Homo-oligomer: A and B are copies of this chain.
């Protein structure tokens, strides 16, 4: 009994197959299989590298350093003046035009823009609560001298005098000669691989003297701002005047099945505020900041800066792949099963479109119906035994009956 179970367990079950020796179906079958296999080998495995486990998230650290001198408002500006924030972050701004409002003290003063022109106090009531003014609108109309004219302007409370950002200021065009040094190290935590964006074989002088070029010098970490503007098709004067955002994308795409020295960055440059080109409001990039001073008697005053800047975003994206058994297996199984699915198509052709389809059906399908089974059960309980006996006996009868059964097949 127990032995029977063990014997039963160690049997091997394989499907019985019909082999159709037909040129038409045979060729269709092989062509379908070839198409499926080519797809999997060529696209899924070779092109899409489905045998690899991939990691898309990357730990990245970026340090930047800008060099260069520019003239602005008759000042020579250096890095400490025109780069904000100063600590060499991945996102930094180079100020290209600064509108300065000097010596602002807390107090009340007339607004500057003609949007706030008034004849009497009541003209100013509508502006109360306005957040686009230079200070809190008090609702009083004041006389203000703009140029040589005396005009009415609403009074505002805050830092005075009010900023006049309509003045024309020459932008700092020297920015095209500036250079940006980018130091980027990335780590793929899944594979514990750490890489830097320039080769450890480059000497100090090599790096100092090089200048990034997509073909000639693709691994040089020093970028010329003028070149970047060229790559992104930006006009220097417009950009310096209005400000803008430029993305420097450092793309790591590493196949770790190869030598790790091939895991190198690729740089690309885009104008980030491109989707807003047509929107007047967001055309450019500017922000305000202040420098604070104190008079001898301890009163604070400030210089307001409205700064138009080119903002550089160093964005690092990474993708690494390495052979792994799980995706390989799952895709291999999918491939094999897909090959098997080819028979579905061939079966349809074989059993419906070919001459002799009925004969093929007869060969492929064996029918058994409830009716038969019931009949066999009802007519004689003996028949059930003879049925099983039939199987057994056919084997027992040895070579001859086996030959018979094969003949029958």
Known: A272-B185, A334-B329. Is A372-B398 also a contact (CB below 8 A)? Answer: yes
> Count of chain A residues with Cβ under 8 Å from any Cβ of B?
176
Residues in B whose Cβ lies below 8 Å from that of A112: none
Give A86 to B292 CA distance when docked, in angstroms.
14
The reply on A242 being an interface residue by CB < 8 A is no
Provide the A385-409 mask, 1 if CB < 8 A to any CB of B, else 0: 0111011011100111111111111
Q: Are B136 and A364 neighbours in the complex by a CB distance under 8 Å?
A: no
Cβ-closest chain B residue relative to A157: B76
Residues in B whose Cβ lies below 8 Å from that of A262: none
Known: A78-B158, A200-B275. Is A333-B326 also a contact (CB below 8 A)? Answer: no
Residues in B whose Cβ lies below 8 Å from that of A3: none
Q: Are B388 and A407 neighbours in the complex by a CB distance under 8 Å?
A: no
The reply on A291 being an interface residue by CB < 8 A is yes
Question: Could you say which of B17, B247, B347 contacts A364, with CB atoms under 8 Å apart?
Answer: B17
Give A398 to B251 CA distance when docked, in angstroms.
69
Q: Are B204 and A135 neighbours in the complex by a CB distance under 8 Å?
A: no
Question: Could you say which of B26, B79, B194, B368 contacts A275, with CB atoms under 8 Å apart?
Answer: B194
Q: Which 7 A-B pairs have the closest CB atoms?
A: A196-B275, A10-B26, A21-B369, A356-B373, A383-B399, A76-B158, A408-B408
The reply on A304 being an interface residue by CB < 8 A is yes
Query: Which residues of A182-201 have CB atoms within 8 Å of chain B's CB atoms?
Result: 183, 185, 187, 189, 194-196, 198, 200
The reply on A282 being an interface residue by CB < 8 A is yes
The reply on A313 being an interface residue by CB < 8 A is yes
Binds B, one of A113-121, A142-150, A232-240, A336-344: A336-344
The reply on A2 being an interface residue by CB < 8 A is no
Q: Are A88 and B287 neighbours in the complex by a CB distance under 8 Å?
A: yes
Question: 4 other contacts beyond A183-B276, A408-B408, with CB at 8 A cut-off?
Answer: A56-B56, A68-B131, A75-B106, A189-B317
Q: Are A20 and B12 neighbours in the complex by a CB distance under 8 Å?
A: yes
Residues in B whose Cβ lies below 8 Å from that of A363: 16, 366, 368, 406
The reply on A1 being an interface residue by CB < 8 A is no
Query: Which residues of A316-369 have CB atoms within 8 Å of chain B's CB atoms?
Result: 317, 325-326, 329-331, 333-334, 336-338, 341, 343, 346-347, 350, 355-356, 358-360, 362-369
Give A401 to B48 CA distance when docked, in angstroms.
53
Give A288 to B43 CA distance when docked, in angstroms.
51
